[in-house]
Amino acid sequence: QTLSPSQIRGRILSPDGTPLQGASVIIAGTKTGSTTDEEGRFSISVPNNRKVTLEVSSVGFATKTLNPGSQTDITITLEKSIAGLDDVVVIGYGTARKKDVTGSVATVSSKRLMDKPVVNLGQALENKVAGVQVISNGAGVPGSQPMVRIRGTNSINSNNEPLYVVDGVVGVGNPLSTLNPNDILSLDVLKDASATAIYGARGANGVIIITTKRGKSGKPQLDYNGSASLNVMQRHLYTMTSDQLMYTYMQAMANGNKYGTVNPGKDFRPTGSGTSFSEMPALFKQVPTGSYVIPLIGKDGKSYAPIYNTNWESLIFRPSVSTDQSLAIRGGNENAKYSMSLGYTDQNGLMKQSFFRRYTGRLTSDFKVSKWLNVSTSLSFIKSKQTNRDGDIPRSTAEVWSILPVKYPTDANQLIGNTYVGGRWGTNQDFNVGEQWFNVLYRRQENIGFNHIGQVTGSFTTTANITKDLTFKSDFSIDYNAYKQDSYSGQLYGSTGSASVNTQTNMYWQNENYFNYNKRIGTDHNLSAVLGLSWSQLRYQNNGASNSIFLSDFYGYSNLGAGAAVRPGVSSADGSSALNSYFGRINYSYKDKYLFTLTGREDGSSKFGSNNKYGFFPSAGVAWRVSQENFMKNVTALSNLKLRGSWGRTGNQEIGSYVTQSYISTANVVLGGTSFTGLYPSSVANNDLKWETTEQYDAGLEFGILHDRVNLSFDYYHKLTSNMLLQVPLPLSMTSGSVTQNYGKVQNAGFEFTLNTRNIETKNLSWTSTITATNNVNKVVQLGPTGAPIYAQTGAGNGTSALIIGQPIGSFFGLTRLGVFSTEETSLAARYGLKPGDLKFLDRNNDGKIDLLTDGDVMGNAFPHWLIGFNNSFTYKNFDVGVDIQIVQGVSKAFVHESAEDRQLVSGGLNSSLDAWRPDHQNTMVAQFRPGNGGAYYQSYPDTHMMYDASFIRGANAVIGYTIPDKSVQKWGLSRFRVYLSTQNFFLRTKAAGYDPEGSSLDKQFALVPNTDKYQYPVPTVFSFGVNTSF
Amino acid sequence: CQKFLKETPTGQITSDYSFSSASEGAALVTGTYRSLALYTGGAGDYGNFLPCTVEYPTGKVYTTDAHPQFFKFQTNQVSGGTLSDYDNFWNNEYQGVRDCNLALSKIGGITDWTASQQSAAYGEVRTLRAFYYFMLVRYYGDLVMDTSVLASVAEAQQPRVSLKNIYDQVIIPDLEYAVNTSSLVDAPSGNGRITKLISRAILADVYLTCAGYPYQEVATAPAKNWCVDGLFAQTGYPVNTPSAKDFMLKAQTQLNALYGKYTLGTYSDLHTPSKINNTGEAIFQAQYLGGVNDMSGFVQCTLPTQSHIYQAGDEYGTDIPTLGYIASYNPADKRLQDRQMFFYSDTYAKKFDPNQGPADKFPQPYVYKYYDSLAIKNGGGTNLNYTFYRYADILLMLTEVNWALRQLGTAVSDNDITKGINAVRQRALLPDFLASDINLKSIMSERAYELILENKMLWDQRRTRMCLVDGVGSFAAIQSFFGHQPTGFSFAFSAMNLLCPISQNEIAVNAKCLQNFNFLPKQAGQ
């Protein structure tokens, strides 16, 4: 290719010689520029006289300026600048150089985000940014969407998720699970009010701005990234073996009358009237007397032993393989640029038939229509499918008797009492002390269902360069989400099958219009401003249908009409919400030393009461770049010192539509065998409802020494959320239970700390490390009108939580378990109507009664004190190595024992039950064995025995990559070829029980108390192999 | 932009809507029935249903499944937070009250209706409101009084008022309106809707209750804080005061109006939907329809624990009469025979044994009156209604009222005293009583035999302050509530056991609501 005299091409490299993708080359003082491709190559048109200055910049490197002179092919090596002072950060309705920003903004490059194979953005973000907590939901469930908290939990009943802005589309639907991380160019996290106030009523939880990769000038470039991962179990749940179970059974029955009245029908010993061991040849085999460790004597006087010893965990969880592939083409010329990308993710869980599959596509185009007019479009489409019936299966691994088979063989001997069970699935009712629990494989077969998401997001943006300093931008964007949830519960013994299909469609549109003004006045004054207005609207429609009584499992959820329920379920709802906003921002800097930002946004929302439709959200930020001062010029060791401070108010409006209204709802009422429609009062009006407001102060320090080889960033923040959108619980004597009112206050305060160091920098070897540390202290300052605590999940078998003034959100609440009443404490136990061998709880008010709320107390918190990430990356010649360690300190987890430890002999059980009290083993936390379903009482409360210190250290990621040198791969038509091996979750140290210290079981996922494990889905250790190639 | 931000809900009617058509009026009235069906609803744990909770405190009913925490009743450890026992009962009945208040505020605007139709609608809704309050007042004592649609959230917290006021200002005026003023039809209900005979049955029960405790004791000093201070001490039944006698006379009037309007069927009718749903001896019921709204969960409570006889799920065994209760039946009592009021064995459900062979022998008899065999053997929901009032109950009230009036010095014929109880005994193939055989023990015993597991005994214990002592072949004695210790209980009843604890949630969010004597959780500062 011959170059015209006005064209320059070149290559931009990092100090170690690797090409820099996405670096920007701009002709200084103009908007003309280009970005580099995967090979680091660019081409740019310059005036014929070539009297221009090129500004070359790239995230993480110091900006370099040069005069090309007569060169047409330039190789430029950029120096690393970890502080990234010249980096451009996205700040909402514009960009700014990092050094000019007064707010707290963190940028994560695509390279950092993708340093391990990830399925979703949440995983990619975990551990990367101080102040950001990524909370796993459903633990290892494939495709589960994590929760993200920026600087703590602000709100009790409103949403606490940050606002996601993807390529200018504000509040895009479910970006965490549907966005293909390979498409991301950069991600900016806006944390303090100076940064987020431009998003006004939606900014209180922080903002994450995502910029995706777009086309660029030059020949088309094809990138392919692919990986395959092996997932294996990391930890196990120890359940009772058959021997342990039969020991428990015999002990429990012997104690039965001590704790109630033994139901003789559940007693299989010769003393009981239940089916004897000798009458259950399907489960027990005759053995020589004395040959089995537990004397199981049948009614015939002979000895028996269980036939099976089934480990349900090993049958349902097994290693799985996941793959991820993405393909992208980007190219164009100065006037028209394009990009296309496709992605396919196939994530398979450790559980059988548990998966997440996602197809993504993205198209972008950018046109320079005329000298003053640019048009950009983007269109993305996503389809995903996720299994949704995985929730109660892990519990069955612990609760189903180990003495059962998966399926009984079909010979004539398969009898339980008079019942022939040959060919049937084993279920808990076969050993008839238990409840109707189905074994995991049976349940897996009979429970099918999927969540589907289809999403189309598109935008059309016009930019007019009105003058050199003034541009006007207008966009029209849509985000269409279609959700469908199918579910079928099959004909498990005795059931008739039930199916449901629920759909939801959301149609969001926005129109944003704003001016950007940038002006340098003289050499000292720099002014930039934004002024704009916007409209947006969300319309939703939900439809649901269900039916039951199917003649066969054949139909699944695919033909609801085939069911024969008396009244099949139907439901639908629709509605909308709208926002109308006016916003503006002024940035002013003096001599690049003193920086000021003022931001304001006026938001009007349909969601609020007729008396409070509009709210105003202001912020102000200042920064002082001390290192620019003359008196600092001699302090050569100090390369950067900046002090920042900001204040602002932002809002939260994430409640449903129409909550301010008073409704009269309909119910179906049966009278005389016919269903009629009845009306009833369902809610109380609140026309004064308004924004939840968060007021935030932030003080920051940025500090670099030794030519930025050591960089430190430190922030302290204090947030007070007031006028919360609280679902104030109301007396049920006078109301339907609650009303959303502006009540209550929550405070968050904390430190964020980021230390970047370049420890070794030589030609062949480099080592850089980053430590991020986050500390957040949350406190409920005020609640509803009575100030009464708000309790949740107070029943046994839960992780009870409480919102209490003075205590943080996420507080677990329960009794203190002191142990078990000993034989010396017989009279003390009798005070509570109990006996030695019964659980002993702290009677806080010493009134002789044990009551959860009266005697309970805060037992721990589901949010950690400290989050620490320690990330290292090394390069040695063509090798690259990364090691990420994650440390979480000061967090509790509720591991709910109730269903498998307190309730002995209601189900299979955990083998921790074997620590049960005996007269010769009194110092324990487990009550004496008793037949829970055989007529004995048991005590089960949310209590300290189920609380664990869930602090942990995790080997989050380790990767070793090798980039085959250019010359070798060029022969194959490649410009880049990297292979890597990586492992995630490769070690874990914690005191917590269960599969993983993070996450919750699917049915115990609560945004305010995220750490409750009642048999959660296991988290795998992952081993991956992948390639990154460019053609 | 005001228009752009205006909210116009599409799926739900807002409270400023003006109801005027007959169909809207009918829907408002229908809505007031919705809480009746919740009466058999769950109470926060596996196998724990509200009717079980109403039986456990009597000491005559137990469970062989541990989930309902029966040991707390045995050891006097129940509190307002015991599972959802007291929350759900409170919430369900008050929901009914609020639904009635809404309908009452709108019926006047139904212009499609004639004055007579409006009057009938008022009678219907006021009867239901009285019934909801009657359930609450016997369970909890003093109550928050809520008789209108809440105007402002600021008024949501209200203190409890004396139970006497609840009777005098709501329950009795509502029912007397329905009986004496409204244009309700004076006939049995064929479709589950309120008729005047239903209003009369409830009113008779209300009068009878007011003739006893705690109304009569509270009336001696209405200003005292009886429930919060636990002042109850008075005993002796019938209560000999002019007021008690007046209530007995009023009850007699209503019971006489009901007498002969219904007929007793067979015991098998009691669990056969086609024979008992709004027909036969049923007077007033919670209405169910299998697969739409059914009480299958409660049906499972009365089946032997995990007995493999129920097709569609577990058998809970959480609502079982104690062995002492059953031993107190006369062995000659027909009700005791297999598959009359009890059943002693059953067949396996098809899912366990396709041939439905005989199940394991039960360790004791179980109550048969909720055994909807179609639902139990075929799976799916049950159509069986839950009966609040049936004719046998009315007959036994009639005997009690006439006996009590004679005790209080009113002339009553022997036949009026015995005709009710003997009709009930004749069906049980037991010999007739003479008027001289009638005493409180024989009346309460017959109520216990006939109305077993129908949630009557707790109210009987409370209004008479007397308890039956288990015996063999008959109850051994009737003794004062104070000091009575049921078999298997670790304590003797005292004044606190005449009430149940106020809902934990109400205490938490209603600062004006005080807890009953000796119960937890207490109000802050109480």
> Which range marks the domain in which residue A16 is found?
7-80
Q: Is A213 helix (H, G, I), strand (E, B) or coil?
A: coil
Mean pLDDT computed over A826-849: 94
pLDDT value at A86 more than 70: no
Are A323 and A343 in contact, with CB atoms under 8 Å apart? no
Strands annotated E in A787-856? 790-792, 801-803, 811-814, 817-820, 839-841
Answer whether residue A15 is part of any domain.
yes
Q: Give the one of A669, A686, A906 whose C-beta lies nearest to B30's C-beta.
A: A669
Q: Which residues of A touch B34 (CB under 8 A)?
A: 667, 669, 678, 680
Q: Which two tokens stand for residue B453?
A: 């597991």
pLDDT value at A223 more than 70: yes
Answer whether residue A667 is part of any domain.
no
Q: How many residues does chain B have?
A: 526
pLDDT attached to residue A158: 87
pLDDT confidence band for A410 (50 / 70 / 90): very high
Query: Comparing C-alpha atoms, which of A511, A573, A512, A571 is closest to residue A539?
Result: A573
| Mean residue pLDDT across chain A | 91
| Mean residue pLDDT across chain B | 95
Per residue in A723-768, pLDDT (tens digit) is: 999 988 899 999 998 889 999 999 999 999 999 999 998 888 999 9
Q: What's the CA gap between A909 and A396, in Å, rounded? A: 10
Answer whether residue A1003 is part of any domain.
no
Answer whether residue A373 is part of any domain.
no
Number of Cβ atoms within 10 Å of the Cβ of B18: 8
Alpha helices in B211-318 (DSSP H): 215-218, 226-229, 242-258, 273-276, 296-301
pLDDT attached to residue A807: 97
Q: Give the one of A730, A796, A834 whose C-beta lies nearest to B156's C-beta.
A: A730
DSSP states of A472-538 as a string?
Answer: EEEEEEEEEEEEEEEEEE---TT---EEEEEEEEEEEEEEEEEEEEEEEETTTEEEEEEEEEEEEEE
Query: Comparing C-alpha atoms, which of A531, A433, A513 is closest to residue A475?
Result: A513
Q: Is B102 left (phi over 0), alpha (psi -120 to 50) or beta?
A: alpha
Per residue in A602-644, pLDDT (tens digit) is: 999 999 888 888 999 999 999 999 988 888 878 878 888 999 9
Are B518 and B229 in contact, with CB atoms under 8 Å apart? no
Searching chain B, which residue's CA lies closest to the CA of residue A581?
B1
Contacts of A153 (CB under 8 A, 6+ apart): A160, A746, A748, A778, A809, A810, A863, A1007, A1008
Q: What's the CA gap between A446 and A498, in Å, rounded? A: 11
Q: Which residues of A touch B79 (CB under 8 A)?
A: 849, 851, 854
Searching chain A, which residue's CA lies closest to the CA of residue B350?
A494
Answer whether residue A23 is part of any domain.
yes
Indicate which of A612, A670, A898 best probes the interface with B, i.e. most B CBs within 10 Å of its own CB: A670
Are A361 and A269 in contact, with CB atoms under 8 Å apart? no
DSSP for residue A636: T
Beta-carbon separation of B509 and A673 below 8 A: no
Q: How many residues does chain A have?
A: 1031
Mean pLDDT computed over A707-722: 93
Q: Which residue has the tokens 């998401």?
A: A453
Query: Comparing C-alpha atoms, which of A983, A1000, A987, A893 is closest to residue A947?
Result: A893
What stretch of H or E contains A621?
Answer: strand A614-625
Indicate which of A273, A574, A734 best probes the interface with B, i.e. most B CBs within 10 Å of its own CB: A734
Q: With helix as H, strand as E and coil as C, how does B277-293 read?
A: CCCCCEEEEECCECCCE
Are B289 and A566 in contact, with CB atoms under 8 Å apart? yes
pLDDT value at A865 more than 50: yes
Q: What's the CA gap between A125 and A188, in Å, rounded? A: 11
A684: contact with B, CB 8 A cutoff: yes
B241 vs chain A: nearest CA distance in angstroms? 33
Q: What's the CA gap between A531 and A691, in Å, rounded? A: 23
A852: contact with B, CB 8 A cutoff: yes
Phi, psi at residue A898, to the nearest 5°?
-40, -50
Domain CATH code at residue A23: 2.60.40.1120
pLDDT attached to residue B485: 97
Per residue in B261-272, pLDDT (tens digit) is: 999 999 999 999
A549 vs chain B: nearest CA distance in angstroms? 8
DSSP for residue A230: E
Beta-carbon separation of A665 and B12 below 8 A: yes
Q: Which residues of A touch B491 (CB under 8 A)?
A: 833
Q: Which residue has the tokens 């004044």?
A: B495
Q: What's the CA gap between B512 and B515, in Å, rounded? A: 10
Beta-carbon separation of A786 and B513 below 8 A: no
B259 vs chain A: nearest CA distance in angstroms? 24
Q: What's the CA gap between A160 and A748, in Å, rounded? A: 13
pLDDT value at B11 more than 60: yes
pLDDT attached to residue A798: 87
pLDDT attached to residue A1: 47
Which of residues 462 through 501 in chain A touch B, CB cutoff 8 A? Answer: 493-496
Instruction: Give the count of domains, chain A.
Output: 1
Per residue in B425-467, pLDDT (tens digit) is: 999 999 999 999 999 999 999 999 999 999 999 999 999 999 9
Q: Which residues of A touch B135 (CB under 8 A)?
A: none
Are B354 and B326 in contact, with CB atoms under 8 Å apart? no
Beta-carbon separation of A788 and B278 below 8 A: no
Cα B48 from chain centre:
17
Mean pLDDT computed over A957-962: 94
B1: contact with A, CB 8 A cutoff: yes
pLDDT value at A401 more than 70: yes
pLDDT attached to residue A630: 86
Answer whether residue A594 is part of any domain.
no
Which of residues 151 through 190 in chain B touch A, CB cutoff 8 A? Answer: 153, 155-158, 190
Strands annotated E in A807-951? 811-814, 817-820, 839-841, 857-861, 866-876, 879-889, 892-895, 947-949
pLDDT confidence band for A89 (50 / 70 / 90): confident
Q: Of the given ranges (A525-534, A554-563, A682-691, B138-147), which has the lowest mean pLDDT?
A: A682-691
Beta bridge partners of A677: A668
pLDDT attached to residue A70: 77
Answer whether residue A797 is part of any domain.
no
Beta-carbon separation of B4 and A535 below 8 A: yes
Answer whether residue A30 is part of any domain.
yes
pLDDT attached to residue B1: 59
A826: contact with B, CB 8 A cutoff: no
At CA B517, angle to CA B516 and CA B519, rounded to 5? 75
Strand pairing class (A207-212; A163-166) = parallel
B237 vs chain A: nearest CA distance in angstroms? 32
Beta-carbon separation of B363 and A265 below 8 A: yes
Query: Comparing C-alpha atoms, which of A775, A777, A779, A776 is closest to residue A808?
Result: A779
B216 CB-side CA count, 13 A: 28
pLDDT attached to residue A80: 67
Strand pairing class (A892-895; A1012-1013) = parallel
pLDDT attached to residue B109: 96
pLDDT value at B420 more than 80: yes
Buried b (16+ CB within 10 A) or exposed e, B126-161: bbbbbbbbbbbbbbbbbbbbbeebbeebeebbbebe
pLDDT attached to residue A517: 94
pLDDT attached to residue A81: 61
pLDDT attached to residue A3: 52
Beta-carbon separation of B520 and A496 below 8 A: no
Q: What's the CA gap between B320 and B339, in Å, rounded? A: 16
Are A324 and A332 in contact, with CB atoms under 8 Å apart? no
Q: What's the CA gap between A184 and B501, in Å, rounded? A: 59
Which of residues 888 through 917 in chain A touch B, CB cutoff 8 A? Answer: 903, 906
Buried b (16+ CB within 10 A) or exposed e, B98-116: bbbbbbbebbeebeebeee
Strand pairing class (A41-45; A54-58) = unpaired
Beta-carbon separation of B34 and A667 below 8 A: yes
Name the more confident of A494 and A705: A705
B432: contact with A, CB 8 A cutoff: no
Beta-carbon separation of B64 and A663 below 8 A: no
User: What percentage of chain B reaches a pLDDT higher than 70?
Assistant: 100
B380: contact with A, CB 8 A cutoff: yes
Q: Is A371 helix (H, G, I), strand (E, B) or coil?
A: coil
pLDDT confidence band for B344 (50 / 70 / 90): very high
A668, A670, A676, A680 alpha-carbon torsion, rounded to 10°? -50
Name the burial class of residue A701, with classes exposed (0-12), middle (13-18) and buried (19+) by CB atoms within 10 angstroms of its CB. middle
pLDDT attached to residue B351: 86
Q: Of the given ranges (A514-518, A707-711, B329-333), which has the lowest mean pLDDT?
A: A707-711
pLDDT attached to residue A58: 79
A30: contact with B, CB 8 A cutoff: no
Phi, psi at residue B430, to the nearest 5°?
-105, 150
Phi, psi at residue B395, to the nearest 5°?
-60, -40
Number of Cβ atoms within 10 Å of the Cβ of A485: 18
Helix axis angle, B391-407 to B414-427, nearest 10° = 150
User: What percentage of chain B reaches a pLDDT higher than 90?
Assistant: 87
Query: Comparing C-alpha atoms, which of A979, A973, A958, A968 is closest to residue A1021?
Result: A958
B146: contact with A, CB 8 A cutoff: yes
Q: Which two tokens stand for residue A256?
A: 């039965």
A599 vs chain B: nearest CA distance in angstroms? 23
Number of Cβ atoms within 10 Å of the Cβ of B526: 10
Model pTM? 0.91
